[in-house]
Amino acid sequence: MEGCSSKKRINFAELCAEEKSKKLFDTLKEAIVEQLGVEEDEVVMEANFFDDLGGDSLDVVEVTLALEEELEIEIPEEDWDEFETIERAHSFLMKIVE
């Protein structure tokens, strides 16, 4: 079917906290790997988006837009600074999907 996505949306409300955290981290990692072209093993909680992964402010925009689409959420521009580290981004996203 043209225009249909074969990727099933994640219903975070149905997941336990541990599953939710893992799925969210995997989604965040996928967006970062795709946007920045880094290796998956580089995207760890301790990584700094700018210093460790080589991202810039435009990359933050692209990652947040990809996450908004994938997770069907809205990330206000004033919250983009939460994406300084992977851990901060993950914590921020966990609050949104709860």
Specify burial of residue 77 (Cβ count, 10 A radius: 0-12, 13-18, 19+).
exposed
Active site residue 79: no
- Buried residues in 53-71 as b, exposed as e (16+ CB within 10 A): bebeeebbebbbebbeeeb
Catalytic residue among 26, 51, 56, 79: 56
* CA of residue 96 relative to chain centroid, distance: 12
Q: Catalytic residue numbers?
A: 56
